[in-house]
Amino acid sequence: MAKVFLIGAGPGDPELMTLKAARALRAADVVLVDELVHRGCLAHARPGARIIEVGKRGGSQSTPQVFIEKMMLKIVDAGQTVARLKGGDPFVFGRGGEEMQALLEAGVEVEVIPGITAGIGVPAALGIPVTHREIACGVTFVTGRTRDGREPNWEALARSGTTLVVYMGLRRLEQIASRLGKAGLPEATPACAIENGTLRTQREIVSTLAGLPAAAARARLASPAIIVVGEVVRFARASALEPKARAA
């Protein structure tokens, strides 16, 4: 029976994709691939598999979510197995939950294959542990961009004592830093922004909560990028702290 694999491709580097994800790709007749998935991951697709681009990137024209879901149903109805390949983990700001719900409601078998989410893998590539028993008792993942424009509870986040990892927040970095500062998070809190994490094109800016927006703007950092705020940023590897990559 045809089915759908919801696959997390990891944070960027194709070698960080799991063995189970690679096996699922080899079993698929059709692969629906997101914009942020490194195309090196497609080396695991079986010869002759149909590759369909269904990209989503902030600020650019994107394939409508409803269209993607209808496409998967149509392919499965034709008796073909689908690999839905997503960047990071399909259930962490990846709309995997929405897609799973639509497929299950239609009676389609779904297998979820987790991936390394960017909020863990990208800081780790820079030497930053998002948790540390002496510094951070937890980590909070939050999106800087919501569907309906609602703001996260910055006051609660500032008081949480956890490392903050912000997805899709680069375009609103100045507002995010300002709101966290007004909520009581010290302006000197270490913070960084990481572009193209885990890839050879990775760039990073390590600064403070107050200094990061201007530093990222000067460096012309671009999406996709992850923002990390918290004392654990002090563990960023030495090369990230060189003057050329740091704002005063």
Q: CATH 3.40.1010.10 in the chain: give the residue spans.
A: 4-113
Determine what percent of the chain is predicted with pLDDT higher than 90.
88
pTM of the model: 0.90
Which entry of 13, 29, 34, 89 is annotated as an active-site residue?
34
Residues of the chain whose pLDDT is less than 50? 239-248
Q: CATH 3.30.950.10 in the chain: give the residue spans.
A: 118-245
CATH architecture assignment, domain 4-113: 3-Layer(aba) Sandwich (3.40)
pLDDT tens for 113-152 read 999 999 999 999 999 999 999 999 999 999 987 667 788 9
CA distance 114 to 7: 6
| 56 in active site | yes
Which entry of 13, 56, 86, 89 is annotated as an active-site residue?
56
Under 8 Å CB-to-CB from 154, ≥6 apart: which residues?
176, 179, 180, 182, 183
Which entry of 17, 72, 100, 168 is annotated as an active-site residue?
168
| 34 in active site | yes
CA distance 42 to 89: 17
* Domain 118-245: CATH class, spelled out: alpha beta
